[in-house]
Chains A and B, each alone.
Chain A
Amino acid sequence: MNNSRSLKQLSVRATVALWIVFLLFALCIGSLVRVAVIDGEEYKLKAEQNQLLDTKVSAGRGTIYDANMNVLAKSASAWLIYIVPSKFENDEQRKEVVTLLSETLGADEETLTEKANRNSNYVKIAGEVEEEQKNKIEDYIKQETKKNKKSKLNEIIGIDPDTKRYYPYSNFASTIIGFVNSDDEGNAGIEKKYNSELTGVAGRIIAAKNARQSKMSSEYETMFAAREGSNLVLTINEVVQYYLEQSLNQAITDTGAKYAYGIVMDVDTGAILGMTSKPDFDLNSPSTIFSENVLEDLEKIEDEEEKKKEKQNALFAQWRNRTISDTYEPGSVFKTVVVSAALEEGAVDLNTKYTCTGSIRVADRVQKCWKHEGHGTETLTEGLMNSCNPFFITIGQKLGKEKFYKYFEAFGFTEKTNIDLPAESSPVPDVTYHSLEKMGISELSSSSFGQTFQVSPIQMITAVSAIANGGKLMQPYVVDSILDSDGNVIQKTEPVVKRQVISEKTASTVAGMMEKVVSVGTGKNAYVAGYHVAGKTGTSEKLNHKGFYIASFAGFAPANDPEIAILIAIDEPEGAHGGGVVAAPIAGEILEKVLTYLNVEPQYEDSEMKNISSTTPQLVGKTVEQAKQIASNYKVKVVGGGKEVVSQTPAASSQIRTGGVIVIYTDETAEKQMVEVPDFNGMTMSQANSAANREGLNIRFSGTTNSSEVNAYKQSVEAGSKAETGSVITVYFKTNVNVQDE
Chain B
Amino acid sequence: MASGKNNKYDDFDFSDFEPKRTSYERNAARKIDTAPKRRQAEKKPDMKLVKRPKKSYARTREEMKRANLHTAKIIAISLVLLVMMSALLYGRMKADELDRQIQSKKNELSVAQSENVRLSMKLDSMISLKNVEDYAQNNLGMVKMESHQIEYIDLSGEDKAVVSGNKSKKSESKNKASFISRLKEYMSK
Contacts and interface: CB of A to CB of B under 8 A. Distances in A.
A and B associate in one complex: yes
Interface of A: 70-71, 74-78, 130-131, 164, 166-170, 172, 217-219, 238-239, 242, 246, 530-531, 592, 595-596, 599, 601-602, 604, 612-613, 655, 700, 716, 724, 727-728, 730
26 contacts: A71-B121, A71-B124, A76-B113, A77-B113, A78-B114, A131-B115, A131-B118, A164-B118, A167-B121, A168-B121, A168-B122, A168-B125, A169-B125, A217-B92, A217-B96, A242-B130, A246-B130, A530-B147, A530-B148, A595-B147, A596-B145, A602-B148, A613-B148, A700-B146, A724-B141, A727-B143
Contacts of B145: 596
Nearest to A529: B148
Interface residues of B, number: 31
Contacts of B121: 71, 74, 166-168
A172 B95 contact: no
Contacts, number: 81
Contact of B124 (A70, A77, A239): A70
Nearest to B126: A168
B173 interface: no
A218 B121 CA distance: 34
B128 interface: yes
B152 interface: yes
Given A71-B120, A218-B99, A219-B95, A238 B129 contact: yes
Contacts of B143: 716, 727-728, 730
A498 to B, nearest CB: 32
B152 to A, nearest CB: 4
Given A168-B121, A724-B141, A77 B129 contact: no
B41 interface: no
B60 interface: no
B114 to A, nearest CB: 4
A332 B125 CA distance: 41
B102 interface: yes
A242 B144 CA distance: 14
Main SS of chain B's interface residues?
helix
B117 interface: yes
Nearest to B116: A76
Interface of B: 92, 95-96, 99, 102, 110-111, 113-118, 120-122, 124-125, 128-130, 141, 143-150, 152
Contact of A217 (B99, B111, B115, B152): B99
B125 A239 contact: no
Contacts of A130: 118
A700 B146 CA distance: 10
Nearest to A592: B147
B102 A218 contact: yes
Contacts of B102: 218
Contacts of A599: 150, 152
A239 B129 contact: yes
Contacts of B150: 596, 599, 601
B58 to A, nearest CB: 57
A76 B118 contact: yes
Contact of A242 (B96, B116, B122, B129): B129
Given A239-B129, A601-B150, 12 more contacts: A77-B113, A168-B124, A172-B128, A217-B92, A217-B95, A242-B129, A592-B147, A604-B148, A612-B148, A613-B146, A716-B143, A727-B141
Contact of A74 (B95, B96, B117, B129): B117
Contacts of B141: 724, 727
Contacts of A219: 95
Contacts of B99: 217-218
Contacts of B120: 71, 74
A77 B114 CA distance: 6
B111 A131 contact: yes
Nearest to A702: B146
A419 B124 CA distance: 29
